[in-house]
A and B are shown apart, each in its own frame.
Chain A
Amino acid sequence: MNSNVVSHQSRKAEILACVEHLAHYLPSQGPIQVFVHHNTLHAFESLKFEEAVLRGKEHFGGEPYWSEARYHRESQCGRISHEDLVAEMQLLPSNSIDAEVMPGIRQSKLRMAMLSAPIKEVSASQLDWLVSETLGELPRFLFEQQDATLSPEWHECRENPTKARRLLRDLYEACRYNTEKFSFNAKSINDDTYSRYRRPSELVNHLYGWNLDGLVNELLIRFCAAFLDQGFAGLQLPGRRDGLWLSFLELYTAPFSLLPDWATSLKRALARIQDESLNAIDVLEESLQFFEVTDDTLDEFLTRSAMVLPGWAGVISQLEESGSNATIKVPHGTLLQFLSIRVLLDRLAMEYTCRQQDIDIDYARYRQELRREQELRAIQEKDVGFLVFQVAKRLGLLPEKIRSMAQSDWGALVKEILKFDSLTRRRVLHCAYERNYRVAIFNAIRVHQQHIESASQRPQTPPVYQTIFCIDDREESIRRHLEEVEPQCETFGAAGFFAVAMNYRGVAEAHYRPQCPVNVKPSHYVREEPVFSAVADDEKRSRRRKRVGQFSLLAHAGSRSLLGGAITSILGSFATFPLVARILAPRITSKLRKRVGSIVQPPSTELHLERQASIPGMSFESLGFSHDEMANIVIRLLQDIGLLSGYSKLVAIIGHGSSSLNNPHESAYNCGACCGGRGGANARAFAWMANHPKVRRLISERGLVIPEDVYFIGGYHNTCNDQIQYYDLDRVPASHRSLFRKLESDLHEARRRNAHERCRRFESASLDITLSEALNHVEQRSEDLSQVRPEYNHATNALCLVGSRKWSRGLFLDRRSFLVSYEPSRDDERGTVLERILQAVIPVCGGINLEYYFSTVDPEVYGCGSKLPHNITSLVGVMSGAASDLRPGLSAQMVEIHEPMRLLFVVQSDAKTMRRIIDSNAAINSLVENRWVQLAIFDPKSNEILVYENNQFVTWDQEKVPIPNVKKSQEWYQGHRDPLPCASVVGGMQ
């Protein structure tokens, strides 16, 4: 008795531990208002990338790489070369490329033949049909293969199609003949895929095609949406405050209610649970017994149960966490309750269906049956003969040779072919694809240095002005264009929160939101306030705003009610005019709307940055920063970017964000370093701090002298419509105004060119668009209700350069690179500054890149699918269509031009420093060592690149290949839609 209780208790503890554990596998995306990019497979970050993607396939069913056909398309465009394939194939673990597979054919040759074109894996019955249908077509593709060393008989075929057809048929038949003769069993190779654990519901789905999960999902999705609603529904779920479990019990035991056939027993089951006042874990335990879940399958069972609806389970687990800033959170333990309900419903569905179909519940027998069926299928599935046929014709083997093979030779050949399976081939293709880009970049950087050298020969003049942008890949192009417009300027890149970690609330906003990277928890609060003289005016306007808000709320809710709806819809004909206008002419309509809206806009404002109280907080006195903290912030940023001397008179610091319409994912387009917010406020705050005389004095006391005539100005770049706005212009001293005008007009020209360069990727903009048309085009995109691609965001990101701008200046990087400014000469021996930069940059940029990677290789599983049927639910996320799992990740429209490759870091540093940084930072260490990012270091003086491979830095010593020189970026990209290789833009050099 006593031991029974103990085992009971330990079982419970075990269940709790499992739930805790499985929460790590769930997507870590909270409510969609705040979209933070992160590695989709963060759960497997401790594994090597190549292993982790396979685990991802196993766990989530997501594809690890692009399809083979896709890589071959890239290789036809020259994006994967033969060399790349050879180099990457050598790096495969446990291979023996020099071993002979059969006389005269080494493993490497066999594998290259398999990589030269996609291998098709089809079942025998499909094949029979296809062969009889298309045999006449066979010769055509035979001669398209690139590198097969053909034997003389095959050469003849080139001229003689009839002979070719005969020979091919002969070869095919020889392969089929051998397959039948030796009856080689395919399953013995890939055994582990069949022993995968399946939940009973999945088991019967495979066996009998009963979709039990579909039944349960329909009910569960509706309930989760109601329970998690963040304020959209007009009526709240009764008893929601009591938690998921109790509210479910209450809702589904309601009198006078009906249930679908399969769930008719639910009411009874719940009534019993209520009577015996069982809690979630008790019921879960019962259900586990029903499903005969043993201790060793418990973890697997629960994880897979949660994975049926990973989106909903994930958002529950996110809302459980105390840190989330959602309106309505859920108490800890909700995930367990969710699972308990899921498994209970699974059980009811199973009981019902088995009863209905008159089949006994016997999981052991199901498993056996499935196994038998799979074994049967394994032989049918992969038609070995056809596989060998494809390889043989690439290798130029003749039918006679195949026929004369002994059983052991044939077996060895087949084994070798099966061992190099689709996943392995795709891995090699993918690595080769990454390598191709890497080689091009290394080459470009090294070749480009000759321009840098010749530029440094010229007499140096001090910069006219300096600008600091975010490191974001979208800012690469505008920096390049600005440098082309004014070669005498300098640009820097720093993480877009500019070291100002704060909770910020704009003058017309209701709440504070964090404006700093996710992993930083800001304790400072900053408000935007109307300037003192306009306080009265602002009150008037905010009253107006409130009235407009109340009215629109009324209209919003009213149009959905009975009477209000009738009134609004009888007046609804008037809605036609704005509707039609907005759709026909989005840009003009939006300008008009803005003009009308200006009567409620707040007047000129300032940031409340100077704190009076000693401790930061939300009350009026404790808003802002102390002077000491400000000085720290200013020094921190200037040290990071290495701007400690050589100031120009004007330093512009420009944050970024994005605005678009009809876009639930809008937050994902904003600044990642500002937690999905808009970085303008941070730039404004930084400029204010850096200009403050007291702060300047404190800074100079710490040894950093900023000359008195240096003025900082804050700005904001909208990456969607390429508008730039500036803050606090009234404060610009008269002495600096003309210089500001110059900066303004230069930036205006730069943004025009930037818009133009961006337009080349938009299919709806013609390739010969002019600069002004391009600007109009991007402005229209951001105001268009029907635009699902307002901008391409981080798509195509592939590179991150950390170091001085001097050596990357003038290099055309095609908006693919994060640019982080760092000056090794200003750093200490240990690389303290570099360390703190990389602590933020590697996880953040790596996270962005990996989210894009996974959403691209599998938009349905890792991404959120097509944007077109998205349906916002409960204000927590989007579903596809009427009812589906919540869809985290990026949409197919966001990633359609993305090229999935792991981010390549090129850091200006030396091996020793880098080694120390990798060793002493766990987060960096796991990403770098496990190859989630690629790392190389670069020394501009020796023009040498060291690549980090297998725990060591290896010198990159390939010969330099010249890259094109152009005067202006436009010359290089004009007329091209596709990604472009690097070029030296001489016009942008200092």
Chain B
Amino acid sequence: MSFTVLITYFCLGCVLFPALLLVVLGLSALISLKIRESLVVVLTQWIASLGLVCAFCVLGLMLSSGERFVTIDVGDWVSIEQEQFHFHIRFIFDRLSIPFLILSLVLCLTVATFTRRYLHREPGFNRFFLLYAFFLNGIVLSSVAGTIETLFFGWELVGVSSALLVAFFVDRESPVQNGQRVWGIYRFADSAFLLGALAMHHFTGHGDFAAFVGTEPWPESQSALTANQAFLVGCLLLVAACGKSALVPFSGWLARAMEGPTPSTAIFYGALSIHLGAYLLLRVSPVLESSIGLRVLIVAIGLSTAITGWLISRVGCDVKSVLAYASLTQVGIIVVEIGVGFYYLALIHLVGHACLRTMQLLRAPTLITDYQAIENALGNRLSNQDVAIAGWLPRSVQVSIYRFGYDRGYMDLILDSIFIKSFKNFFLWADRQERRWADFLCGETTQPSKIELHPEEQLALESDSESIIGATSYRKEVQ
């Protein structure tokens, strides 16, 4: 078999195996077929491992042949010539996508193994793995995307699964609220992404990265855009990256994302999705090269993110948000590195950081034991009694700085008052209108029922209406 055919098969394998997992888990959920825990895990592990093997084979083949840039064309899915619109699917395997792909697959596999025991007997076990499959597909597609449409597709899958995983514990209020908030910010970032994609189509005629970042293997290629075009497209993509990576001014949602079960928190907000914005910037790095203004902007955002993230994580008291913002600090630095042009350093930093943070978040619940162990080794109590911000500053400035970190840079407050408030008021108004309309149609005041039930029965009530009348139908099992 020739080299090209072989490598094509392996490349397709990287993409298709995760898709297979999604199809199996998704279809079974769709037809309400309850798969056993162990089967779900075995399927996930095997399919993700096959994907990983494919990725390693691609890497091996590329190393042995000296080829550094492989593209796989799946063709146009939609093509409207007169409107110059294509939905073109193409995958790129190069120095950038392969490390990120392998990283994603290794971490996803590890987390799947971790979750097998962590979520054992949890009612949402299958739901978790379904969302996990969505995420896996999203991250694989994003990492090997060769056109902006493909990237957007993966990017959306990641967004949707992340937001749903934040709201994993649907029976409590705050996870759902925070999930919605994350989703809101993601949508905002996505709209900037879409605008960027449109602008690109407009400038170059299609969404192929090659057209605007050049055809040389990453990172040597040259952009085909002019400086102004690059600035415009770059800014839009930068907003998208900011939302996804929680860079300033969107850093507020990161703490709220800590609602899900520990493994999803670890992999999504500690490791993979938070780096996706930085990855996007790396992918379009030739565009950055052609606009100095854009690079200055990126460095500024990166730097302010790093400093804010550092301050927030210094002030924080709960282990998950502290780790999340420590993570953000590093993403900020990575973005600075990208802005300055150290692409390889940024890539190494990204990969190493993702691994480190995953491990730290996975063992976050062991914090108390860790601290005891450190105290025992040092032989005295650890205490932050005397840590001040900078003793030489006036007291009020110290308090202000502390307060800035404590309130997470006020970013949520500012976003709330600028954007969210107006949206919320509009929706509340719509809600009121709907109620009035419904009352008018019913001819009476509608109100939700507030009967108090035992929590267990409440669940049964929601899941299985028949059980209310069918007195002895005990289909709702605890397990």
Task: State whether B470 touches A137 (Cβ < 8 A).
Answer: yes
Chain B neighbourhood of A118, CB < 8 A: 471
- A122-B451, A868-B122, A869-B260 known; A235 and B315 CB under 8 Å? yes
- Residues of the A chain whose Cβ atoms lie less than 8 Å from the Cβ of B385: 236, 328
How far is B465's CA from A137's CA once the two chains are assembled, in angstroms?
A: 12
Chain A contributes a number of interface residues (CB within 8 A of B) equal to 124
B399 touches A233 (CB 8 A): no
Contact of A226 with B468 in the complex, beta carbons under 8 Å:
no
Q: Does A591 sit within 8 A of B, measured CB to CB?
A: no
Q: How many whole Å from B456's CB to the nearest CB in chain A? A: 4
A259 in the interface, Cβ–Cβ < 8 Å? yes
State which residues 458-475 of B face A: CB under 8 Å.
Answer: 460, 465-466, 468-474
Q: Name the interface residues of B375-433: CB closer than 8 Å to any CB of A.
A: 375-389, 395-396, 398-400, 402-407, 410, 413-414, 416-417, 421
Chain A contacts with B in 554-575, Cβ cutoff 8 A: 556, 559-562, 565-566, 568-573, 575
Tell me if B318 and A871 are in contact (CB < 8 A).
yes
Partner of A662, one of B366, B381, B407: B366
**Is A872 within 8 A of B468, CB to CB?**
no
**Is B8 part of the contact surface with A, judged by Cβ < 8 Å?**
no
Is B79 in contact with chain A by the CB < 8 A criterion? no
Contact A873 B318 (CB under 8 A): yes
A285 CB–B CB distance under 8 Å: no
Q: Is A191 an interface residue (CB 8 A)?
A: no
Q: What residues on B are CB-neighbors of A434 within 8 Å?
A: none
B42 contacts partner chain A, Cβ-Cβ < 8 Å: no
Interface bits A136-160 vs B (CB < 8 Å: 1, else 0): 0110110011000000000000000
A133 touches B169 (CB 8 A): no
Give the contacts of A518-553 with B (CB-CB under 8 A): 542, 545-546, 548-550, 552-553
Q: Which of B358-373 contact A (CB under 8 A)?
A: 358-360, 362-373
- The closest CB in chain B to the CB of A867 belongs to B365
A562 touches B306 (CB 8 A): yes
Give every chain B residue within 8 A of A575 (Cβ-Cβ): 352, 355-356, 359
A197 contacts the other chain (Cβ, under 8 Å)? no
CA distance A222 to B318 in the complex (A): 9
Q: How far is the CB of A773 from chain B (nearest CB, A)?
A: 17
Q: Does B115 sit at the interface, judged by CB under 8 A? A: yes
Q: Say which residue of B115, B121, B259, B317 sits within 8 Å of A233 (CB atoms).
A: B317
Asked if A722 lies at the interface with its beta carbon under 8 angstroms from chain B, I say: no
Contacts of A137 in B (CB 8 A): 466, 469-470
B104 close to A (CB within 8 Å): no
Please tell me which stretch of A621-629, A645-653, A692-700, A881-889 contacts chain B, meaning at least 4 of its Cβ atoms lie within 8 angstroms of it. Answer: A881-889
> At the interface, yes or no: B353 with Cβ under 8 Å from chain A?
yes
Near B by CB (< 8 A), chain A positions 320-361 give 327-328
User: Are A235 and B323 CB-contacts (below 8 A) given A122-B451, A553-B374?
Assistant: no
Is B86 on the interface with A (CB-CB < 8 A)?
A: no
Query: Which stretch from B89-97, B106-114, B194-202 is at the chain A interface?
Result: B106-114
On whether the beta carbons of A510 and B330 are closer than 8 Å, the reply is no
Q: Is the CB of A870 within 8 A of B471?
A: no
**Which B residues lie within 8 Å of A33 (CB)?**
368, 372
Write out the residue numbers on chain B whose beta carbons fall within 8 Å of the beta carbon of A868: 118-119, 122, 169, 261-262
Whether B383 and A225, one on each chain, are in contact in the complex, defined by CB atoms closer than 8 angstroms, is: no
Contacting residue for A254 out of B352, B369, B403, CB 8 A: B403
Residues of A87-136 at the interface with B, using a CB-CB cut-off of 8 Å, are: 117-118, 120-123, 125-126, 130-131, 133-134
Indicate if A475 sits at the interface (CB-CB under 8 A).
no
Shortest distance in angstroms between B444's beta carbon and chain A's nearest beta carbon? 10
Contact present for A882 and B471 (CB under 8 Å): no
**A885 smallest CB distance to B (angstroms):** 11
B469 engages A120 (CB within 8 Å): yes
Which chain B residues border A328 with CB–CB below 8 Å? Answer: 383, 385
User: When A133-B465, A568-B356, A575-B359 are in contact, do A229 and B174 touch as well, CB less than 8 Å?
Assistant: no
Q: Contacts A144-B471, A234-B313, A866-B169: A572 and B356 contacting too (C-beta < 8 A)?
A: yes
List, in ascending order, chain A residues with CB within 8 A of B214's CB. Answer: none
Contact of A251 among B356, B373, B406, B465 (CB under 8 A): B406
B169: A residues at CB distance < 8 A: 866, 868-869, 880-881
Let me know if B117 is at the binding interface, CB within 8 A: yes
B378 touches A546 (CB 8 A): yes
What are the residues of chain A within 8 A of B110 when measuring CB–CB? 579-580, 583-584
A878-921, CB < 8 A from B: 879-884, 893, 896
Residue from A67, A141, A556, A884 in contact with B456 in the complex, judged by beta carbons closer than 8 Å:
A67
User: Is the beta-carbon distance between A545 and B377 smaller than 8 angstroms?
Assistant: yes
A560 and B326 contact, CB distance less than 8 A: yes
Question: Could you give, for residues 772-796 of chain A, a 1 whenever the CB lies within 8 Å of some chain B CB and a 0 otherwise?
Answer: 0000000000001111110000000
One of A48-56, A68-76, A494-502, A923-931 contacting the partner? A68-76
Among candidates B317, B374, B388, residue contacting A873 with C-beta atoms closer than 8 Å: B317
Query: What's the Cα separation between A232 and B398 when bound, in Å?
Result: 19
CB–CB A511/B381 < 8 A: yes
Check B116 for interface membership: any CB of A closer than 8 A. Answer: yes
For the complex, what is the distance from the CA of A550 to the CA of B449, rounded to whole Å? 59
Residues of A within 8 A of B416 (CB): 260-261
Which residue on chain A has the smallest CB distance to residue B448?
Answer: A209
B258 to chain A, nearest CB (A): 4
Closest to A789 in B: B120
- Evaluate whether A257 and B113 lie within 8 angstroms (CB atoms) in the complex, with A73-B474, A573-B351, A866-B169 already known: no
Measured between alpha carbons, how far is A548 from B310 in the docked complex, in Å?
25
Q: Could you tell me the distance between the alpha carbons of A879 and B472 in the complex, rounded to whole angstroms? A: 37
Whether A559 contacts B356 by the Cβ 8 Å rule is: yes
> By the criterion CB–CB under 8 Å, are B175 and A881 in contact?
yes
**A141–B470 touching, CB < 8 Å:** yes
Q: Does A821 touch B at the CB level, under 8 Å?
A: no
Q: A484 near B: Cβ within 8 Å?
A: no
Query: A238, A377, A584: which contacts B113 (Cβ < 8 A)?
Result: A584
Asked whether any CB of chain B lies closer than 8 Å to the CB of A840, the reply is no
Kindly list chain B residues whose C-beta atoms are within 8 Å of the C-beta of A866: 122, 169
Distance, CA A583 to CA B262, complexed state (A): 14
**A436 at the binding interface (Cβ < 8 Å):** no
Q: Is B333 in contact with chain A by the CB < 8 A criterion?
A: yes
Taking the complex as formed, is A664 at the interface, i.e. its CB lies under 8 A from any CB of chain B? yes
Query: A233, B261: Cβ atoms under 8 Å?
Result: no
Question: How many Å lie between the Cα of A664 and that of B371 in the bound state?
Answer: 12
How many angstroms between the C-alpha atoms of A846 and B47 in the bound complex?
A: 51
Q: Are B314 and A235 in contact, CB atoms less than 8 angstroms apart?
A: yes
* A656, chain B: closest CB distance, angstroms: 18
CB distance from B262 to the nearest CB of A (A): 7
Confirm or deny: B76 has a beta carbon within 8 angstroms of a beta carbon on chain A: no
Expressed in whole angstroms, the Cα–Cα distance for A133 and B465 within the complex equals: 10
Q: Which residues of B contact A569 (CB under 8 A)?
A: 330, 349, 352-353, 356-357
**Interface contact B457-A67, CB-CB below 8 Å:** yes
Q: Is the Cβ of B457 less than 8 Å from the Cβ of A510? A: no
B66 in contact (CB, < 8 A) = no
Asked if A661 lies at the interface with its beta carbon under 8 angstroms from chain B, I say yes
A225 and B371 within 8 A (CB): no
Contacts of B322 in A (CB 8 A): 232-233, 560
- Decide if A231 touches B469 in the complex (CB within 8 Å): no
Contact across chains for B362 and A134 when beta carbons are under 8 A apart: no
Q: List 18 A-B contacts (CB under 8 A).
A: A130-B468, A133-B465, A140-B470, A144-B471, A381-B450, A549-B373, A552-B370, A570-B353, A573-B351, A579-B358, A579-B362, A583-B362, A785-B362, A869-B175, A869-B261, A881-B175, A881-B259, A882-B259
Q: Can you add 12 more A-B contacts, CB < 8 Å, to A231-B381, A232-B319, A583-B113?
A: A123-B451, A254-B403, A546-B377, A565-B333, A569-B349, A573-B348, A579-B362, A580-B106, A763-B120, A858-B455, A871-B321, A883-B255
Chain B residues in contact with chain A, CB under 8 A? 106, 110, 113-122, 169, 172, 174-175, 178, 255-263, 306-307, 310, 313-323, 326, 329-330, 333, 345, 348-349, 351-360, 362-389, 395-396, 398-400, 402-407, 410, 413-414, 416-417, 421, 449-451, 453-457, 460, 465-466, 468-474, 478-479
The 9 closest A-B CB pairs, nearest first, are: A549-B377, A572-B356, A572-B352, A569-B353, A234-B314, A67-B454, A560-B326, A881-B259, A868-B261
